[in-house]
């Protein structure tokens, strides 16, 4: 059978677990909280940068719409685009520059006639002189009506061509189409518009509604990044890839339909995470080593007093009561050692007292055996007196001698419990002696149901009660009477001794007998009540009361116990 671990080992393991588990748990928790906090901070910053970039785009596209609205109502622009040679170019350019406002710093505004030829522009360098009307941006503007419609270019790496173009059809009097306003945004314009809006360490990519690249700070990056992001989106996956060293955040710009994708380096790279894990593991190893050393020291310090107590208990088991455990300190273990020493001292005194009591008990038994010789001698003497009285024809002396001999033999018998029938027989012997002594001054009667005759009761409890009734209750009373009745109630045996005498004296309270010690006139009541309470508990004993017509009643209450039962 496997031996269970020792207390010292369990104590050491407990110390080790109590010191290591919280430390390691707190370290892992702090590392995880730190990572989540940094990741959350990064997500918040990316959201703020996306919002700033989107606000910049809102400002730009609001300016584009306002320019288109102003040129829609310009009669000068309508006449110039319609081919009216009288219209001066200066006025048209002034109208165009005024409508473009500050937006011309990051976008080019061009006026094209219905044939697709560029007539006026806010750019100093020449752009495309003509645009096709059957397809492209002008064709889309014709279908769209009076709202700007933007189209992304095909090559994001071409920084000299417009990356995003929007066109709107201009109308003159009678809602007649007069030409087109084309808004072109180049690489430099996007850079000026979005500069400082998305953070120094972040990279912003603009994608079309079909997730085609439109603008990126590094144009070469857009061609490689856009297909990868589009494939993840179509596959229903997150933009972030744990295998990559970047975080992604995306937002849709409602006014243009473009998607803004922000990329920034991961808060914790794989190398940084490995370093953190290495540092955490090193700290854990150091904590384990310190916890092992401290656990060994603490377990040894706590186990030393316990080991001494264990050795002391072993000495006591081998009957060595001279052992003494030194008490170290005033803590609980020192107090326990002191109490152990006191207990051993008490055991030593108790053993000495037990030896002395055994010696006295042996002497008492010897004296008891010697004393038993005298009652046997008295019984034999009483038998001799009985036969001499019969020979000399003195029947009363013979009867008293016989009764007294029976009572004496009953008293010195070794039995502690007797049948109620036998107790009543001895009681009748005693009453016969009293009747002879008092010349028949009282009558005696016993009422014992046959079903209760074999109940077991302590020996010699009825004789003191009847003696008390005869000597004290019937004192000075003529025609006295004593009656003993036995009955059962609720599993309890109630033996009542009644007399028609003077009743209970004032110093004896009615109810349950309250002992006042063995001294006084009622020694028999005290002894009987003490025997009953010692055997059966406080609920049993003697109960006293005065009869309504005179006299007193003393009731002994004890449990019903048949002859075959044993006393617990």
One-character DSSP codes across 336-360: HHHHHHHHHHHHHHHHHHHHHHHHH
User: Beta 442-447 vs 492-499: how paired, if at all?
Assistant: unpaired
Q: What pLDDT does residue 520 have?
A: 55
pLDDT above 60 for 380: no
If phi > 0 it is left, if psi is from -120 to 50 it is alpha, else beta; for residue 192 that is alpha
pLDDT above 50 for 186: yes
Q: Using 50, 70 and 90 to split pLDDT, how confident is the model at 376?
A: very low
The fraction of the chain above a pLDDT of 90, given in percent, is 7
CA distances from 456 to 83, 452, 461 (A): 144, 9, 12
pLDDT tens per residue across span 201-225: 788 888 888 778 888 877 777 777 7
Can you tell me the distance from the alpha carbon of 75 to that of 305, in angstroms, rounded to the nearest whole number? Answer: 109
Q: Which residues of 345-356 are buried (b: 16+ CB within 10 A; e: fewer)?
A: eeeeeeeeeeee
pLDDT tens per residue across span 94-149: 888 888 888 888 899 988 888 888 888 888 765 567 888 888 888 777 666 657 77
CA distances from 334 to 12, 44, 212, 315, 348 (A): 21, 60, 82, 19, 21
What is the pLDDT of the chain when averaged over all its residues? 78
Can you tell me the distance from the alpha carbon of 443 to that of 483, in angstroms, rounded to the nearest whole number? Answer: 8
Tokens matching residue 43: 């997500």
pLDDT above 80 for 55: yes
Contact 153, 162 (CB under 8 A): yes
DSSP state of 63: H
Sign of CA dihedral 325, 327, 332, 338: positive
Of residues 192 and 384, more confidently modeled: 192
Q: What pLDDT does residue 392 have?
A: 62
Q: Using 50, 70 and 90 to split pLDDT, how confident is the model at 495?
A: very high
DSSP state of 56: H
What mean pLDDT do residues 408-414 have? 77
Of residues 284 and 416, more confidently modeled: 416
DSSP string, 368-411: HHHHHHHHHHHHHHHHHHHHHHHHTT-HHHHHHHHHHHHHHHHH
pTM over 0.75: no
């Amino acid at each position: 059978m496997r031996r269970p671990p020792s207390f010292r080992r369990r104590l050491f393991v407990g110390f080790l677990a109590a010191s290591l588990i919280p430390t390691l748990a707190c370290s892992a928790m702090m590392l995880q909280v730190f990572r989540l906090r940094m990741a959350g901070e990064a997500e918040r910053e990316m959201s703020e940068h996306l919002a700033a970039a989107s606000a910049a785009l809102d400002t730009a596209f609001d300016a584009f719409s306002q320019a288109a609205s102003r040129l829609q109502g310009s009669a000068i622009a309508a006449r110039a685009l319609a081919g009216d040679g009288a219209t001066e170019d200066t006025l048209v350019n002034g109208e165009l520059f005024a409508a473009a406002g500050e937006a011309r710093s990051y976008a080019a505004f061009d006026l094209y006639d219905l044939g697709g030829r560029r007539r006026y522009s806010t750019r100093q360098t020449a752009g495309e002189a003509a645009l096709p009307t059957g397809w492209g941006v002008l064709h889309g503007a014709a279908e769209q009506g009076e709202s700007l419609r933007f189209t992304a270019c095909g090559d994001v790496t071409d920084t000299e061509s417009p990356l995003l173009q929007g066109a709107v059809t201009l109308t003159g009097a009678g809602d007649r189409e007069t030409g087109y306003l084309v808004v072109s945004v180049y690489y430099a314009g996007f850079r000026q518009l979005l500069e400082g809006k998305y953070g120094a360490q972040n990279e912003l990519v603009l994608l079309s509604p079909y997730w085609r690249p439109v603008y990126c700070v590094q144009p070469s990056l857009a061609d490689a990044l856009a297909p990868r992001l589009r494939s993840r989106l179509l596959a229903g996956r997150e933009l972030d890839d744990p295998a990559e060293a970047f975080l992604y955040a995306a937002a849709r710009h409602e006014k243009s339909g473009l998607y803004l994708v922000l990329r920034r380096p991961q808060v914790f790279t794989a190398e940084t995470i490995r370093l953190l894990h290495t540092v955490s593991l090193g700290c854990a190893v150091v904590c384990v080593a310190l916890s092992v050393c401290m656990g060994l020291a603490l377990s040894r310090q706590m186990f030393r007093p316990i080991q001494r107590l264990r050795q002391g208990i072993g000495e006591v088991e081998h009957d060595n009561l001279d052992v003494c455990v030194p008490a170290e300190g005033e803590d609980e273990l020192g107090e326990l050692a002191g109490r152990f020493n006191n207990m051993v001292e008490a055991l030593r005194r108790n053993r000495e007292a037990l030896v002395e009591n055994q010696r006295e008990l042996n002497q008492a038994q010897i004296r008891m055996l010697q004393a038993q010789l005298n009652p046997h001698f008295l019984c034999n003497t009483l038998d001799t007196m009985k036969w001499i009285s019969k020979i000399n024809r003195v029947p009363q002396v013979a009867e008293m001698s016989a009764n007294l001999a029976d009572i004496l033999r009953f008293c010195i018998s070794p039995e502690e419990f007797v049948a109620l029938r036998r107790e009543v027989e001895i009681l009748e012997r005693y009453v016969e002696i009293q009747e002879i002594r008092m010349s028949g001054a009282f009558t005696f009667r016993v009422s014992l149901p046959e079903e209760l005759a074999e109940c077991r009761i302590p020996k010699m409890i009825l004789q003191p009660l009847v003696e008390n009734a005869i000597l004290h209750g019937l004192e000075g009373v003529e025609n006295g009477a004593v009656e003993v009745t036995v009955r059962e109630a609720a599993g309890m045996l109630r033996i009542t001794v009644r007399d028609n005498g003077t009743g209970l004296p004032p110093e004896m309270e009615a109810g349950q007998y309250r002992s006042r010690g063995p001294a006084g006139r009622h020694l028999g009541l005290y002894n009987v009540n003490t025997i009953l309470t010692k055997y059966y508990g406080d609920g049993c004993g003697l109960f006293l009361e005065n009869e309504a017509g005179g006299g007193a009643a003393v009731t002994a209450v004890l449990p019903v116990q048949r002859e075959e039962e044993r006393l617990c």
